[in-house]
Every structure is written in structure tokens, then in C-alpha cells.
Structure 1
Amino acid sequence: MIAQPYLRLTDEELELLGGAHPLVVQPYLETVDPEARDAVLTTAARSLWAHGVAVSEVGAIQVPEHVVDLLQWRQDAQRVLVVVIGEFTEQEATETAHYVHSLESAHLVETVTPDGMHAFAVHEGDLEQLIDAWIRPLDVVPGSGSARTATRLGQPWGQTRLRLDATLWRPGERAGRLIGALGGAGGTWLTDVEPAEHDAMAPELGDGEVLLEPTDHPGLVTRILTLIAPEQEVMTGHGTMTG
């Protein structure tokens, strides 16, 4: 069962509460002109006050204990799984970012929507179920054929309808594997690149070439799971894959 969000905060509210995070995007604040930032934060402070957050006479915000605990969890997380999903139509493009802040076996899930709303929920179950719930609404069209380099293949999915990027972040460590996927009416294709080991893993690839593999909904879920359990076999309805 996927837990429902128990707390929602805007970019501005998180900023005022000291909740800026080096990894988490702030899609609304990033669009605000510097000259308008103070006014936006003042409005957010009034919103917090209206929702029961105490503000002192000098403007200091007294952060509720449950919010302090949430922010501390984000700060202390031993790893963060990041899955960013972009959806494209003729009218618009939207991007939603999912973060799983993990402390041992407990997971704080943060979903950031394009309007800068951060929804938080505690997930105690299997992460496969959670990742599947993110991907299922995309109606992924399966890719077909064999893996080959992007420069030789062109754009087999046709007009891009979805884009997915996934990685695992650990505090103090360099950027690691990046899993990417692009999909459209012609199918879905993924890349899986370890920046520091690119040449060693695939010496036959030239500079700027990326290996594309056809994939489907279960395949995407499986590959993302290998980021958090690279040495374990991950089972799906379409067979077994090792990281």
C-alpha cells in the first residue's frame, strides 16, 4: 500500500523553515525574480502563520516539532533515490521529481510538482511497489529490437512523450550511475551509464555515443531497483535481472 502524503509544503515555506536541500529542486522559487523574492517569502510567512505556525515579533519562525523531525530526516538520510519524470504533450511539458530519503529501512518520500509543492509521506513497504506506482500512469509503450548506439539509431521512439532520469545520491560521494529513458508512440528506450567507468564498461563506444536498450514498464522498474540493490537479483513478471 502506498502511503498518502501527511504534509505538504511549498518551496517558499520550506525555504523559511530552513528546509533547503542540496539535491531537491525548488521549481517555483527558481522562476522568481530576485527583486520579488522577499515579497514571495513574506507571503509564505503569512501563510505559515495562518496555518498555526508561530511567528515571533521579530519575524522568527517557531518550527513545529513534526516539521523539525521531517527536515532532520531529510538531512540525515544515508541515501536518496531520485527519479525525475517528464511528460510532454503538444500543449505543455511537465516535470515531477520524486525523492526517497532512506534511513536504514525507513523511507521518507518527497514528491515535488512543477508548481513547487512538496508532498511528504512515510513509506514502510517495498520500494518496487512505490516505483511501479510512479511509472504506471505513463502508459509506457514497449521498445523492441536490439540494443545499439544512439548515434546509429536516431530517435526510434518518435516524438518524445516521456523522459525519465534516475540516480542514487549519497552524501559526500561523487555522482554515480544515471539511468535514463525516452519514450513515445514508437516505444521506450533506456540508457544506463556509470560516468567514471564508461570507457571501461563499453570501450567499443566512441566519445558522445550512448548505448540504447529497448525496455518496457517492468523493465524500467527493475532497472531503477538495481540502483538501490545492485548486487541483488530483482524479480519482475518478465524474468530476472541482475545489476
Structure 2
Amino acid sequence: MKNIIKRYFKPTAILLILLAMVISSCKKDDYYNDGGKANPVFNGNIMQYLESNNKFDTIAQIVKLAGMEDVFKNENITFFAPTDEVIRRTIGLVNTPIRELQGGLNQLLFDTGRDTLKTLSDVQPEIWRKFLGRYIFKGSYRLKDYPQVDFNLRELFPGSYYYTYDRDIANIGVVYNSVNGVKYVGYRQLTISYLWDPSNPNNFATAAVASSDIQPSNGVVHVLAVSVGTPIGEAPNDFTANIFGFNADFYNDVMFSR
């Protein structure tokens, strides 16, 4: 009996000592602590949220140039927020070797003999207002409030159509991703598709959402992903998502105004 006790006691004692050491070590290292879920609530209005985040420095300026600062401070809205990178790629540079900035608005202005844009205020306020409105919706809508969309089976899961702030039309839906070949059991991906021509609902440009359900005091912000022309999961993320306003209309309006 003594031999049996000794045989089992020694390894057990060693395990207890090791366990105590691990627990002691965890207490000393803060990075072992569970940070919990990210807090989606922002203590301030949507305008203050944009101004507090360096990803939206340029977008915040555009809101002011468009004369929509009061909307972002006081009205209840949902904003599908393009980042400053979208503006950078839209405007672009002249004769740059950097591929993603070639073919931007400044290159078009240069090629047609027009003055290029030096500052954001070179664009007329009404143009900023027109295209910024395509990203704004009245009311507060989180991911859970939107229906499912399956871009390969839209007759069954079409998402839903919504009027933008200025009465353009967009389709918004949630892609239910697959896991190990099993459909619709994976993570949820919010998307917004701008309809270029409402009479042709199959002609649209889609942007995927990178971060959803940010909740300032007067609405909801969904941050759009920058597109590299490839899907995010099963959600399309068209390259036109990099163009402010989702298509070449912004280019045309600025060119004709100069």
C-alpha cells in the first residue's frame, strides 16, 4: 500500500507545484487578463467620433465643407463611413508610379488641361454634399437590423433596399458566411451596395464593412473596408468602393465644375 501511495503522491505533488507556479505567474502578467468584449459605445456624437479618429480626419473636413456638420452632430443617422484612404485614392496623384493612386481624379484633370486639386476646398460644397449623402441613412440601424443577402442566391436572400439621406437607393444586407462547406453558419458580414441605375437593380457596386455597430450618441457608424478588388469572406468588395460616391460620377461633377 505504501508503494502505491508513493507512486501516485510524487507526480501529483509535482503537478500541484507547477499549477501554483502558473497561477502565480498569471497574476504578475497583465497580458493574461481577459480584456472582454470591445465596447461599441462612443461617448459623443458622430461628428465627435470622426474628429477623434485619425482614420477620418479628411472625412470630418468633408462633412464641414459639405455644410452637414449639424446633421452629424444632432440628427439620428446611420453612417457607412469611408475612411480617409478612399479620398486619397479617389483624388490620386499625377504621374505617380504608385499603382493604386494612378488614374485618380487629379490625373484626369491634368490630362484634360484642368487645374488639379490642391486642397479639399477646391471641390464645390454642393458636390461634397451630393456624394457624402450616399453614405448616410436616417435612423439608427445596427447589423442585426438588416436582412440576409446572398450575392449568389439573391432571389432568396436579396437584402433590402433603402433610401439614402438624399433619396438615392442602396441595397444593404448581411452575408452569412460558410464554415467547412456548411452554408450560413459562419460569421456575419455587413455590406452596402450602391445602385447606379435604380431601373437595373443588378447593376451595383458593393462595399464590405470592416467594423460595424459603433454607437455614438446620435446614431450608428459602420466603417467601410478599403477594397483591393477581392472579396472579404463571401462578401464582395468591389474596387469601386475605393471611389468616393461608389462610381465615376464624382469625377465627372468635379471636372465639369472646373
**TM-score (norm: length of structure 1):** 0.23
Higher strand share: 1
**Which protein, 1 or 2, shows the higher relative CO under an 8 Å CA cutoff with sep ≥ 6?**
2
| Larger Cα-atom Rg | 2
**TM-score (norm: length of structure 2):** 0.22
Higher helix share: 2
